[in-house]
Structure 1
């Protein structure tokens, strides 16, 4: 009985550690996605500005 309880406790602790690891990875992924979104928005803004500048040099 004691051995079974010890194994169950070990399994629960392992599961808890894995859950914490997954949560940390999810947080990192979320932060990376936020950085990508911010970079995409900045790139979009630069593309709009560049389009406006290039439009000034078009020959009619």
Structure 2
């Protein structure tokens, strides 16, 4: 099953980004966070920043 839009779940207080299809997606936010905030390469940004917090996955 493929998912082509951002999605959320009531148990997770963040709206999760799409993998790559939309303008604001996991790939673009991850690259931006690496460039502007020095995030390590093993981190993937899964949500937009909301109230100075963001959901990040450590893929290590």
TM-score, normalising length from structure 2?
Answer: 0.29
Between Structure 1 and Structure 2, which shows a larger proportion of strand residues?
A: 2
**Relative CO higher for 1 or 2, CA cutoff 8 Å, sep ≥ 6?**
2
Larger radius of gyration: 1
Between Structure 1 and Structure 2, which shows a larger proportion of helix residues?
A: 1
